[in-house]
Structure 1
């Protein structure tokens, strides 16, 4: 398998890949960028954020593999080894929610781990495109935090929406009762029940414990495989049973793999070890689900030089060919048609303050895209909608609401990629501020961010200036002297807080997207997303 946003990429001969435009080949499109508009962020800022992301992913992998020698001696597999054994080596794998939980469980950046103790993404299992989830028992024994539950629910929603089988390699002692409340489990249970009722197959492989609410996953699965003498599935372990009822029983007698295979019927197949269990899961999917063709090589990484959305659109389009839509009107947002990986796609490139004309054009363009049945790609680097008397007199409030309604009502796939800024109402309407773990405004099919990008209700500096104006007007109205030193400290504190919260890695940790990707992998990531969406309507469900 190749993971499209990891540091090591396969070498691909130029003749094996479609042409991708370089920055100097980009088709020039009209723009009215002002000096306040978010032009290309400093390259060093993006590079530093990308390097930090790689370090964080490596930190999580190191923690997960720390006990590998002991695990190997016990004849078991680590979470990453299980994932590798499950997936087809020759097909692409797209990790999702790679930064989930970063700086959520603790504020110390030197100790924070991303991933929420759960590996997950879209890959191929025996030729079948699937959503996979792997409990990482190497990190805190697989204890589930608040973001673990939300990440798992997000993966389940992707499987449901795209009609993909869901494969869960289970090995968790359950939730951290100090950090998980009922709201996360409500959302997770609802998502799983909906998938089990209406969606494609759910396959659970029990490598270790599944106790408490986690055990319900196995109960809602279409096919359950358990490892002998290792798997445990029960509502309450021996300690809790004795504490509540006084009954003395061993864990194996309450929920061992053999009990569920021979007595309750919950387990469909038994395996002698982790490797055999995974092979049984692969065989089950291969025999009951149609296989798909998929690219077996990654394209060369892009040489991304700018975060200007209209330039990136040319870089990611097949052969750099785009067909602009009304390029001279409403130039605050450029719209165009293109093909990416052979898929026809409508691209909405928001790269400036969007005035009423830009919003009218966007609404008409989305109507056209839906009529043609085209997926819509939102490329975001905008400080928001235009402000001031002219914009208000032009009806920007109603137009912004109409644009939001169209985005939400789109019946074609929606994919958002945050390149630089995604500030204000424009970022919210076009997907830049919608919480991917919570379902997202408009229900984006996929939503990713670049390292170094930002998303906030207000740009930090703009929020600081607004605070000053409010304080100044208040002081003038009350005929009081302005404490400029105190106001300066308040402004600095506000800007620092918003800057931290707006950062891509922090927002992704909170669930503000479906992952942070290397900008150079943007075309490969989008190809996988478009392939997945295109095949969604062709898949059979309830097999």
Structure 2
């Protein structure tokens, strides 16, 4: 057929043929192997994620620069836009049913264009990660240096443009640029069969001689401990639900306020707080139970529970408003903050401050971890980064000291020098530079040693008890409230109401 004899119908037929080929992914055999590995095809993942009939794809007809005998539809990546709970999102879905989802220049250009659209037009970006790194020879030699990878847009918005939420779902082995995508995300959910690392086992072994499995290298245990994943789920459907849940707390971009939901009562009666938190400073309890008495029912979304686990962070709602809850976890090292907990808290504070989410600090902290391990782990630098982030945050900040708040741990939880809008305490609160048992042995060491040597163990024990009582009396909240270091001392049962009202005051009637 000559060009002059062709009709528009012929051209449309040719288009439809190319579209069908573009949607073929890895073909029957590639898709079969992909399903047998326990993974869903990328287009089924997208259908599961976005609202029905809302998918709008771009770049479907892309092909790799280096053509092979076997086709690589879309250059192994699907990009486009959809609605998620009625709100626009951009989606990058790696197609690992063909050439293991490996990255080449055209696929990277497709991803970059989608990211540019999301950032320029101000809506969230969802990254479906499942790739085995770079594709050879497409990225070898001089080609690697010339990859269309713009770090001014690929990793973050250009200066002056709003920040958009980024969410990554790790749905299989995710190496190379899939891992890089996840590192830029504000929230990373992964399935138990997934893994995430800079380079996969096929590169690690020949490079450094270490033979390692996907799971050992970057599976759920390794990823959560390193802070590379915030939540681990069983199925891909669970992962898509987690993506939707996370985005439901955030605005479309950093110029807008977080969405407000209808208020709900808390899961547990706030009056239970007096029984949940024991008076003894050494007695353990689960801070999650405190969260349940303060947040609206079914609104708590944990954030990185497996990383820095002596501190809990969660997105939640109080009276329908989105908040970021930060609380020490007394059942893990008594709630003391180590380098991982400090890094986790700093990242969460930045997330909330970026997207206008008020911060709620629930103090029950004996202090910062000390000693050689903590110092070599960078606790000093981590502490400086965290307290600076809290002090510089412009969102409402409300703190409540439940039981103990000592030393640098108190400041790392939003103590007065970090400029909280409101700071309260329960009658059970103890505040000070050190815990009593440490403080009296540090300050009165020589006196205690002399009494023990000259008067014996009983006199020594009596002096310890006397000094401890004096220390605890100074640490009680009454003088702090008298000198306005605290805005008030409140009953435990009033905590939810006090926090909600304080946030309302700081927002000045804004949503």
Fold shared, TM-score > 0.5 on shorter chain: no
Q: For the superposition of Structure 1 and Structure 2, which TM-score range results when normalised by the shorter chain?
A: 0.3 to 0.5
Bigger radius of gyration: 2
TM-score normalized with structure 1 length: 0.42
Q: Which has the higher contact order (CA 8 A, sep 6+)?
A: 1
TM-score normalized with structure 2 length: 0.44
